[in-house]
Chains A and B, each alone.
Chain A
Amino acid sequence: MEALKLELKEKIITLLNLEDVNVDEIQDTDALFGDGLGLDSIDALELIVMLDKDYGIKLLDPKEGKAIFQSINSMASYITEHRTK
């Protein structure tokens, strides 16, 4: 799980071009959207594709992402439970 969390942080930084953010600056419980890391709805769409491409998880409604992308913790546990690759 810890390895997955680190992997997710690295992916988020690269995928979303968060050039000025370091892996250790993202806490597992930090809010990714809104006041936390400041991600927005376009980032959510990018993350949905990442779930599909890297973990074989297909979301059909962007609204489903809301709970999953709350924090690194929530992402990691959702992926662990639902991944197909």
Chain B
Amino acid sequence: MSKVAITGMGIISAIGNSVEENLNALLSGVSGISTIENIDTNHRNSIKVGEIKMTNLELSRLLDLPEDNNFSRTALLGLYAAKQAVKNAGIENSNEYKTGLISATSVGGMDMTERFFYDFIENEENRRYILINDAGDSSHKIADNLGINGIVTTISTACSSSANAIMLGARLIKSKQLERVIVGGTDALSKFTINGFKTLMILSDTFNTPFDNNRKGLNLGEAAAYLVLESDEIVQKEGKKVLAYVSGYGNANDAFHQTASSENGEGAFLAMEKALKLANLNPEDIDYINAHGTATQNNDLSEGRAIESVFGKNVPDFSSTKPFTGHTLAAAAAIEAVYSILALQKNIIFPNLNFKTKMEEFDLVPVTELKEKNIENVLSNSFGFGGNCSTVIFSKSK
């Protein structure tokens, strides 16, 4: 068995609270990038973000959580998307099959820790948030709420995290350790990440423009998305509708710099090559690349070079969907997995908004208008700090 079936998906992002809302925004070209409202930061006027315009209280109510819950925003977003995915897959009993949850996050409960850091010592009121700082807390909360009892773990490899969660989930299904696994990622905006990226001087003060010669950096975003992966046995036994397949994946390390990608994008090249090999596909079988395309000087050059190395002169249609959502860090690969699956289902390529000028280093031009064509295989890239490079290939359900 080389392919793993995807039978459900759920998402919440700056462009919508459901798969349908996200699809509509992608089809109508409506971006979710805006001025930040939920976080009180000095940088309010010098950055743009992909923020979900719901407060924690509103999210808690939608999730029927008690008012005194100790959910971080990361956990709230994660549970919201994971519930949708489970519902979409038509799962009623979480423990009918050997089920697991592999979630990804980079900020974990930092959004609460940063609020109450000094306050914890002096004040008893918010101490229920002390133990939610660790990244595993959001995964536990999602698992508990969905009633999952089994393999529950969390991956944090910066901006490639949820690609790696999909990878581990597929591996667990293939090795028969699990029959069903919910995979994805969640990250909330936080002062910590906003200021962290600010110190690296890679935040744009305006709308992000991936693969544009005059790109000024990225917009951070927040989101969560999950997929349900199921074994062929479940799919056959229950006559499940398969949305798409995970057909290939690869992870490699650029081993070049702690935060920057190498100029020739070697790690990215290796990840794409590994994924193609596992999927048993040739470069010309890829109909669409959902690029990492963060719109930083460094990423887009490095990724573009890597794409050229893999695909030569015949680079397939590609676009970055980050002008819609912002860069949602550990959730990015999961939301882009949902977009890749939608591309396969609808035979549509979503546009790389805001692109105007071709980069001087190469001739790569992203798709800038909605484009209809038959799509059999989508390759999705996600790269993170620490040289972490991941590629996942999604293929059409026949």
Contact = CB atoms under 8 A, between A and B. Distances in A.
Nearest to B201: A62
A48 interface: yes
Nearest to B298: A41
B200 interface: yes
B27 interface: no
B339 to A, nearest CB: 31
Nearest to B205: A60
Contacts of A62: 201
Contacts of A45: 199-201
Interface stretch (B13-21, B90-98, B252-260, B278-286): B252-260
B43 to A, nearest CB: 14
Interface string B257-273: 11110000000000000
Interface of A: 40-42, 45, 48-49, 61-62
A41 B201 contact: no
Nearest to B200: A45
A42 B259 contact: yes
Interface in B227-260: 257-260
B260 A48 contact: no
A41 B262 CA distance: 13
A84 B260 CA distance: 32
12 contacts: A40-B257, A41-B257, A41-B260, A42-B258, A42-B259, A45-B199, A45-B200, A45-B201, A48-B201, A49-B199, A61-B201, A62-B201
A40 B259 CA distance: 12
Contacts, number: 12
B197 to A, nearest CB: 12
Contacts of B258: 42
Interface string B193-216: 000000111000000000000000
Given A42-B259, A45-B199, 10 more contacts: A40-B257, A41-B257, A41-B260, A42-B258, A45-B200, A45-B201, A48-B201, A49-B199, A61-B201, A62-B201
Nearest to A60: B201
A49 B201 CA distance: 11
Nearest to B257: A41
A42 B259 CA distance: 9
A64 to B, nearest CB: 10
A49 B198 CA distance: 11
A41 B259 CA distance: 10
Nearest to B258: A42
B173 to A, nearest CB: 40
Contacts of B200: 45
A27 B140 CA distance: 56
Interface string B103-131: 00000000000000000000000000000
A45 B201 CA distance: 8
A62 B201 CA distance: 7
Contacts of A49: 199
Contacts of B257: 40-41
Nearest to B260: A41
Nearest to B259: A42
Q: Please name the 4 residue pairs, one residue from A and one from B, whose CB atoms are nearest each other, closest first.
A: A62-B201, A45-B199, A45-B201, A45-B200
Nearest to A49: B199
B283 to A, nearest CB: 32
A45 B258 CA distance: 13
B69 to A, nearest CB: 38
